[in-house]
Structures are given as C-alpha cells and as structure tokens.
Amino acid sequence: MTIVTRFAPSPTGRLHVGNIRTALHNWLYARKEGGRFLLRLDDTDTERSTEAFAEAIRADLVWLGLDMDGEERQSARFDHYEAAFARLRSAGRVYPCYETPQELELKRKVLLGRGKPPVYDRAALGLTEAQIAAFEAEGRQPHWRFKLDHGSPIAWDDLVRGPQHFDPALLSDPVIRREDGSWLYMLPSAVDDAEMGTTHVVRGEDHVTNTGLQLQMFEAMGASPPAFAHEALLVGSEGKLSKRLGSLGVESFREEGIEPMAVLSLLARIGTSDSVEPFVDTAPLVAGFDFAHFGRAPARFDLEELKGLNTKIVHQLDFGAVRDRLPEGVDAGGWEAIRPNLATLAEAADWWHVVEGPVDAVAFDEETAAFLDRAEAVAADLDWSGDVWHALTDALKAETGRKGRALFLPLRQALTGRDHGPEMAALLPLIGRERALARLGRHS
C-alpha cells in the first residue's frame, strides 16, 4: 500500500504556525514511508477563497521545503460531491431540514436549560408532505443533514490518542449542505479522502468528533476510511491558547530572519517525547518521525525558543548554503569570520559593513590615542600575509606592557567602532592593511 497524506487548507487567509505544523507532520510521515504528500485546497467557500491566498499557501510550502506530489482543488470537484450526495439521498442517509437558525438556537437553549446535551431531535424526519409544502410556499429552502446510524457504534484506534469511542445517538446529525446549496466541510472532505486514496489523516484534536461523524460517511459510501492521528493543539509559551499563534506564519518568520529549518526543527518535535534540536536538513526529522512519540499534553510554541534554535542553525550553515544570500564581496573566509556572531543571516550585512566601512569613530583619551598611534606604526611594518592580529598584539604587549582588556578593547574599538564582535584574528585580514591603518590613526 502506498501511503498518501494530504494537507487541506482553505485559501481564505495565510498559513499560520498551527497549519504549518499540520502540513509538516503529514509531509514527514509521507516521506518516511516513501509515500505521497498532496495539497488539497478546500475552496468550497467561493466568496472568501481567493487565488492570491492559494498562491501564498503554495509559496509558503515551497519556502519551508515541503514539496508536494500533487494538488487538488475542491472547487473543481463539485460534480463528485453531487454524485455522492445523490447516492446517500437514495440510500436514506441524508434528509432535508427546514428549521431556521433562530428555531435551531431556541431548541438548543431549551435542551441546555433542561441539563441535556444540545443534540438535534430529528424533527425534520417527521415532517408531512403538507408541512414541507407549506415551508416551501413560505420560500424556505432546506439545509441537509447526514443521518447517523444510531445502531452502529463509532470506534477507531487513533494513532496518537489510542482507542476512541462515540455513541452516535449522543451526536447531532451533521449539516452537510446549506440552504443555498453550498457545501460544508464534512462530506466533501470524506469524498475527497476516499477518492484520492488518502491512507492517513493527521490533524488537530479539535477534529476528533468530526472524525467520528465522517467514519459513518465512509461506511455509508462503501469506502475504506483512512487511519487518523489527532495531535494536541499548539499553545503559547504562557500555557494558554494564544491569539498570536494565529498571526504567526511564514511572512512573520521571514521578517524575523528565521530560517525554514528552524521552523521545521521546532514544530516537528514540540509535543513529542523527542528533543528539539537545531537540524540543518530534514533527514533526521524524517527518520525519527513516529506517532508513538506524540503526547496528549498541549504543544507549547515559544517564539524565543525558535529564535534561539535559529541562531544555532545559522552557526552550522556552510558557505555554499548561504552564498547567494550574503552581501556582495563576502567570501568563504568572510563567512567563517562573521558567522559566530549572527543570530540571523540578515545580520551578515551589518557585520560586513564593519569590514568595508566606514565605521563610526570612537573618542579616546590621550593615553589611549598615543597607544593607537603606536599600534598604527607597528601594524604598518608587519607582514600582512600571516597572522597579523596576534603579531600586532604580541608586539604591542611587549612594547607597552598593556594586556587583557586594556590591550585588546581599544584596538577593537578603533578598527570596528564596536566593543564586541567577531574574532579579530579572523576580522583584521578582511579589513585589510590600508583600512586598518586609516582607522588606527583616525583619532589624531
């Protein structure tokens, strides 16, 4: 059996961190099993779905490196849903309902007031032809519900949550089609999974009840259901569901200078028993992916943890991986020099400016200015083809008696305009003799 997973966003907005995590886990499982990962755009909401959002979703997946093996759009499959609907209607598994939203809400409040679960009472099944004719004469159009089989208990072995059981009599028959003929999520999704050969559905635990309802739809359609894995939802670092998680996505990550592998490294492992590590490629994430490692506790997403992970990943990137993203003039030696001081790749431009200049002049007292005058003279006579930094500091230490901070800090400040930064032994050759001499003598 070829494993087939799918990621099914609605193109009504940009992907957020929760969507990305779902996409990633579906992708990881497909890649581990040598299967297929499909993008399915759930764009039945024709008013809110846009091509711009669809293209943004594709671009976000490409940036993350989650390559797809195929794409489907629900808007191109309405005839499939009509055919399934007709078969279910003929089998007596869907039925029309004429209650208004206000009438349904009143029923719900009455049941809750009596301490009962707000389960739909199936009153529509008892309507006479005359009552239906009267409703239609009023201009009412029916919405349609899928009729659950109360004699068939719902059960499945969830790959994350373990054995799951529902009594269908305690669930409302789900609405699958609105009065205007448009589709809700439930039936089209089940039809697509059946016809596209989806073998595994990985999604959030907020879909557990939906899964129970859809299992009966698969059965009614004579289709084998996929296996389901319902993972715990993301929460913010404060331990609560965070509204900010809904705004964090690829766009915001890119603005923060976050590398795709930092996002993948964190989202692949939080909520599991596996440790979060700064991976520079996906191979270890694919090899280690296992639903048995997923926990039931909410998965905590911490932006600061992501930033720290990003820094560790940047420090591992070799020159070939970043060459095209570095400022002009940065070679392998330059990258090796500035890399340890970067939290994001974007900061490379700032440190390269320190090399090429101009840099801000620092005000020194007379004693330090005299020391730097001597440093300029010593530097002018050195062989710049060797380890010029240690040659310079060794000579100045022997001549002036300065050591430690008193020796190194004024040199760094004069040469870079900063109090800290990359190792000067690596940086000084990049600055070069002429620029270095000019900066050492600039105070006078």
Residue at 348: amino acid letter: A
Is a pLDDT exceeding 70 seen at residue 243?
no
Q: Under CATH, which architecture does the 1-72+232-316 domain have?
A: 3-Layer(aba) Sandwich (3.40)
Give rounded-to-5 percent helix, strand, coil for the chain: 50, 10, 35
pTM of the model: 0.91
- Across residues 89-95, what is the average pLDDT? 98
Q: What is the pLDDT of residue 432?
A: 96
Q: What is the pLDDT of residue 246?
A: 76
Do 189 and 214 meet the contact criterion of CB atoms below 8 Å apart?
Answer: yes
Rounded CA gap, 16 and 341, in Å?
A: 30
Q: In Å, what is the CA distance from 173 to each residue of 42, 116, 123, 126, 211?
A: 22, 16, 11, 15, 13
Q: What is the pLDDT of residue 387?
A: 96
Q: Is 243 annotated as a binding residue?
A: yes
Please name the helix (run of DSSP H) or strand (run of DSSP E) that holds residue 157, with its range, or none: strand 154-158
Is CATH 2.40.30.10 the classification given to domain 357-440?
no
Rounded CA gap, 312 and 280, in Å?
A: 9
- Across residues 360-378, what is the average pLDDT? 94
Percent of the chain with pLDDT over 90: 95
What would the pLDDT profile of 156-199 be if each residue is shown by its tens digit? 999 999 999 999 999 999 999 999 999 999 999 999 999 999 99
On the CB side of 257, CA atoms within 13 Å amount to 16
Q: Under CATH, which architecture does the 79-230 domain have?
A: 3-Layer(aba) Sandwich (3.40)
Residue at 374: amino acid letter: R
Is a pLDDT exceeding 60 seen at residue 48?
yes
- Across residues 265-278, what is the average pLDDT? 97
Instruction: Decide whether 1-72+232-316 matches 79-230 in CATH topology.
Output: yes
Give the pLDDT band of residue 238 (cuts 50, 70, 90).
confident
Q: What is the pLDDT of residue 241?
A: 60
Please give the span between the terminal C-alpha atoms of the chain, in angstroms, as a whole number: 78
User: CA-CA-CA-CA torsion for 265, 271, 276, 278, nearest 10 degrees?
Assistant: 10
**CB atoms near residue 4 (< 10 Å):** 22
Q: What is the pLDDT of residue 242?
A: 65
Domain boundaries, the chain: 1-72+232-316, 79-230, 357-440
Q: Which of 14-18, 63-67, 234-238, 438-442 is predicted with the least confidence, judged by mean pLDDT?
A: 234-238
Structure token pair of residue 304? 């600061």
Q: Determine phi and psi for 398, rounding to 5 degrees.
A: -65, -35
- Across residues 358-374, what is the average pLDDT? 94
Rounded CA gap, 415 and 409, in Å?
A: 10
Is a pLDDT exceeding 80 seen at residue 334?
yes
